[in-house]
Amino acid sequence: STQKPWAGRFNEPTDVFVEAFTASVGFDRRLYRQDIQGSQAHARMLARQGILSDSECDAIVAGLERIKTRIEQNKFSWSVPLEDVHMNIEAALTAEIGDAGKRLHTGRSRNDQVATDIRLWLREEVDEISRAIRRLQQVLVDLAEREAATILPGFTHLQAAQPVTFGHHMMAWYEMLERDVERLRDARRRINLMPLGAAALAGTTYPIDRDYSARLLGFDRPAANSLDAVSDRDFAIEFSAAAAILSMHLSRFSEELIIWSSAQFGFITLSDAFCTGSSIMPQKKNPDVPELLRGKSARVFGHLIALLTLMKAQPLAYNKDNQEDKEPLFDIVDTLRGGLKVFADMMGALSCNHARMRTAALQGFTTATDLADYLVRKGVAFRDAHEIVGRAVALGVERGRDLADLSLEELRGFSAAIDEDVFDILTLEGSVAARDHFGGTAPNQVRAAVARAREALAAD
Ligand code: ARG
């Protein structure tokens, strides 16, 4: 069987099932690029400090490049007995360049190595995810501009509440995504610290220069405590928490699209390209994509809980438990990257059914608050106005007519303060246009929000 790098103190071979059970190479080989990058930086630092010769360092750096190429060409054979990506690459390096390969692990442990690899990997993924969020925001801003004056009912309790503009609604999602980007960027500051040099747990006896390796790898600085450096997975949990909140947003947004695209609402039409049919019901067009996006939030939430649980009882410093941190992280990243892409594509192909939205906004007395505000402007106290309009709504319900369809006489029956001009404020356009302040739903304000967003996206 394969000679293990740590075999020295063992008398018996590893149980074959245990070998497979403890191995992580099946999934952590995904980190090969970061593992090589980290090893090359470590070798350069060792050479600069006189711990390795320059020729040894050159052989290591070049040998690792060749191994990287082999991996990328699918010509590398991964070995389960060699456990993980780290020992696989190190063994291949020694096979490739001979003795110099055996010097690479000087002053290093797989404990600081793996923590470094994950941080390098996650840093890149956070940037990719942030870019994907930006792309979705861009689509929403375009949609908001196109539909700045489109009116639909806004809801509370899923009951028609007040008219709002579709553009305003899209910009609400833009704001949520903006906070998601901020959270990811904040998490990135704590991801971008370098464990390398912590070695197994206590640091190392060689005269290493951690600032130099950190600089080579683009880390902000080396982690300040060796015990913490090898055992900290807060950065992974923070990322997962930000990812869970982002997934919650995508799920909520999806829920709305599912409701809006139902025949009963009919506010929007999702492009056929993002829906599927039924194997039995010929008429069906199902919103599979938003449904799946809603469903996928569940796995991201689950991974966050898995990582918290993974860490909650680990004494310092490294424990093998930590090998379980990778699959949840990988799955979160894959889920989000796929989800954000399909979401942006789907929103770019969405169409609004203006007439359906308008009809719905005209039902349910959505301008009742406007009538109360009107009475206040005529000198009525708001509480009295609320009562008066409530009685007018009750009459409308009884007669099956909306407020704007009641006659002036009928309305005046509730308050002599009501005049002919009331009908202007009872229109949908009047209602949204009147909410013309920073953060309000007026088409003007939507255009202003769109302009601010475009500027922010361009500056980013
Ligand atoms: N495969 C291991 C992990 O993912 C690498 C570190 C192993 N360290 C050790 N002392 N066994 O965490």
Segment 11-28 mean pLDDT = 94
* Ligand 1 mean position, distance from CA 285 (Å): 48
40 lines ligand 1 (CB under 6 A): no
With helix as H, strand as E and coil as C, how does 224-246 read?
A: CCHHHHHHCCHHHHHHHHHHHHH
CA nearest 43: which of 115, 113, 120, 118?
113
* Ligand 1 mean position, distance from CA 331 (Å): 19
Query: 157 an active-site residue?
Result: yes
**Is residue 331 classed exposed, middle or buried when 0-12, 13-18 and 19+ CB atoms within 10 A define those classes?**
middle
- Interface confidence (ipTM) of the complex: 0.96
**Are 56 and 100 spatial neighbours (Cβ–Cβ below 8 Å)?**
yes
Segment 253-282 mean pLDDT = 93
pLDDT in tens, 288-311: 999 999 999 999 999 999 999 999
Quickly count: other Cβ atoms within 10 Å of residue 48's Cβ: 16
* Nearest alpha carbon, ligand 1 atom 4: 323
Site to probe by mutation for ligand 1, drawn from 14, 118, 323 as the one with most ligand atoms within 8 Å of Cβ, is 323
88 lines ligand 1 (CB under 6 A): no
Tell me the pLDDT band of 5, cut-offs 50, 70 and 90: confident
Residue bearing tokens 């709504």: 393
In degrees and rounded to multiples of 5, residue 109 shows phi and psi of: -135, 160
pLDDT of 4 reads 85
Residue 189: left (phi > 0), alpha (psi -120 to 50), or beta?
alpha
Is 1 a residue whose pLDDT tops 70? no
Tell me the pLDDT band of 81, cut-offs 50, 70 and 90: very high
114 lines ligand 1 (CB under 6 A): yes
Q: Domain 7-106 is of which CATH architecture?
A: Orthogonal Bundle (1.10)
402 lines ligand 1 (CB under 6 A): no
112 lines ligand 1 (CB under 6 A): no
Is 61 a residue whose pLDDT tops 70? yes
* Ligand 1 mean position, distance from CA 90 (Å): 14
Please state the domain extents for the chain: 7-106, 111-201+228-357, 359-444
Q: Which fold has domain 111-201+228-357?
A: Fumarase C; Chain A, domain 2 (1.20.200)
pLDDT of 285 reads 87
- Bridge-based pairing of strands 351-352 and 268-269 is antiparallel
In degrees and rounded to multiples of 5, residue 352 shows phi and psi of: -100, 135
Q: What is the largest CA-CA distance in the chain?
A: 101
pLDDT of 325 reads 98
Please tell me the CATH code under which domain 359-444 is placed: 1.10.40.30
24 lines ligand 1 (CB under 6 A): yes
**Are 246 and 301 spatial neighbours (Cβ–Cβ below 8 Å)?**
no
Site to probe by mutation for ligand 1, drawn from 232, 320, 330 as the one with most ligand atoms within 8 Å of Cβ, is 320
pLDDT of 282 reads 85
Segment 89-98 mean pLDDT = 98
317 lines ligand 1 (CB under 6 A): no
Give the integer Cα–Cα distance in Å for 368 and 359. Answer: 16
pLDDT of 448 reads 98
Tell me the pLDDT band of 68, cut-offs 50, 70 and 90: very high
- Tokens, residue 380: 């009525």
* Nearest alpha carbon, ligand 1 atom 2: 323
CA nearest 358: which of 89, 163, 81, 73?
163
Quickly count: other Cβ atoms within 10 Å of residue 376's Cβ: 16
Segment 190-202 mean pLDDT = 98
* Nearest alpha carbon, ligand 1 atom 12: 323
**Is residue 122 classed exposed, middle or buried when 0-12, 13-18 and 19+ CB atoms within 10 A define those classes?**
buried
In degrees and rounded to multiples of 5, residue 99 shows phi and psi of: -55, -35
pLDDT in tens, 203-240: 999 999 999 999 999 999 999 999 999 999 999 999 99
Is 281 a residue whose pLDDT tops 90? no
Segment 129-156 mean pLDDT = 98
- Bridge-based pairing of strands 159-165 and 193-194 is unpaired
- Please state the atom number of ligand 1 nearest to the C-alpha of residue 322: 12
Tell me the angle at which helices 234-260 and 326-348 cross, rounded to the nearest 10 degrees.
30
20-24, 261-265, 350-354, 424-428: least confidently modelled range:
424-428
Query: 279 an active-site residue?
Result: no
Give the integer Cα–Cα distance in Å for 96 and 12. Answer: 28
pLDDT in tens, 332-386: 999 999 999 999 999 999 999 999 999 999 988 999 999 999 999 999 999 999 9
Tell me the pLDDT band of 66, cut-offs 50, 70 and 90: very high
Cα angle value 307/312/315 (rounded, 5°): 120
* Ligand 1 mean position, distance from CA 433 (Å): 61
* Ligand 1 mean position, distance from CA 87 (Å): 10
Tell me the pLDDT band of 277, cut-offs 50, 70 and 90: confident
Task: Calculate the average pLDDT of the chain.
Answer: 96
Is 276 a residue whose pLDDT tops 90? no
pLDDT of 374 reads 95
